[in-house]
Amino acid sequence: MANKRLNVTRREFQDSYRRHYRLYQNTNVSDKSRRLVLFYSVECGLKSLIMKETGNDTYEELETYCETNGKYNITGHDIKAMLKEVNPRNEFVLKNISLEKGGGSVPPMRFNELWRYGAAVADIEEEERTEKVLAKIAEWIKTRL
């Protein structure tokens, strides 16, 4: 049971998206903390949208759908894969964010770690552009749920 995820409902994902997005919009704390909340808002919103479009009402049903259809990457944090699932035209481009001092780069599926741990980035403007894209995704999700 330790590795089993909570069997969250589509409605709970949707409510979490809305709650986190409101918090992002109305909170003036550190940029990294706000971005982390925005990331989770987008993740929850995308999962709710995928569940809506695939007719799954619980997280367990979504996992079964993913296993059956070979779509394992949409049950974790891979927001690029989730976006591709619900928006195949891929109008939102998320790129890796480079870390300071040759520390490599962070792919979108690990942005939550970047902002949770506060790692230094090589180019703050790159991080700001990513935040703007995530905010656009959050607004797009609002029109679809």
Return d(Cα 15, Cα 9) in angstroms, integer: 10
Are 40 and 47 contacting, i.e. CB atoms less than 8 angstroms apart? no
| Tally of residues, the chain | 145
Return d(Cα 63, Cα 57) in angstroms, integer: 11
End-to-end CA distance of the chain: 31
Could you report the per-residue pLDDT of 92-126, keeping only the tens digit for each? 999 999 999 888 999 999 999 999 999 999 999 99
Residue 143, token pair as written in the block: 């029109």
Return d(Cα 54, Cα 72) in angstroms, integer: 14
Q: What are phi and psi for residue 86, nearest 5 degrees? A: -105, -10
The tokens 């480079």 sit on which residue? 98
pLDDT at 92: 94
Are 27 and 78 contacting, i.e. CB atoms less than 8 angstroms apart? no
The tokens 């049971």 sit on which residue? 1
Could you report the per-residue pLDDT of 74-98, keeping only the tens digit for each? 888 999 999 999 987 878 999 999 9
Could you report the per-residue pLDDT of 36-73, keeping only the tens digit for each? 999 999 999 999 999 999 999 999 999 999 999 988 78
For range 12-24, the mean pLDDT:
98
